[in-house]
Amino acid sequence: MENAENIFQKALSFVLRWEGGYVNNPNDKGGATNKGITQYTYNSWLVAQGKPRKDVKFISDDEVREIYRKNYWLKTGCDKMSKTFAVICFDTAVNMGISRVKEFLRIAAWYDTEKFLKAREAKYREFATYGNQKIFLQGWLNRLNALRKFVKEI
């Protein structure tokens, strides 16, 4: 059985493939992000570390890894889940927030990954009905399909 650190590294590699580099799309409600970390999240993390705030453009790979580990992987409990659920829940937490993970786990009765993923897809489709968010729907669905494939291969 793989240890949680190896699973985290695999999950992180998947997330980073989808999160990319620095983006400040005016249609993205999260604002400026780099490697999926918002400016707000980065500022909060820096302050908690006793460090001065700086532009998320300059976030280091080590900072990205630590923010994802502490703020998403551990807070979501991925270190205590099956490999498949850990990867799915981690990616969901990064993309949609920890509260959505809890919502989808309840819908999935804490064991049915397909129900979880269908709930996530339904939420994306709901989001796409708000304002100009429809422009993101195909990318969200592509990510979800890639996630389905990825967890079957790990």
The tens digit of pLDDT for each residue in 99-149 reads 999 999 999 998 999 999 999 999 999 999 988 889 999 999 999 999 999
Share of the chain above pLDDT 70, in %: 99
Domains of the chain (ranges plus CATH)? 4-153 (1.20.141.10)
Question: CA-CA distance, 76 to 98, in Å (whole number)?
Answer: 6
**Is the CB of residue 144 less than 8 Å from the CB of residue 117?**
yes
The tens digit of pLDDT for each residue in 47-71 reads 999 999 999 999 999 999 999 999 9
> Residue 67 CA to chain centroid, in angstroms?
11
**Angle at the Cα of 139 from the Cα atoms of 128 and 39, rounded to 5 degrees:** 85
Looking at residue 79, what DSSP letter applies?
G
**Is the CB of residue 31 less than 8 Å from the CB of residue 40?**
yes
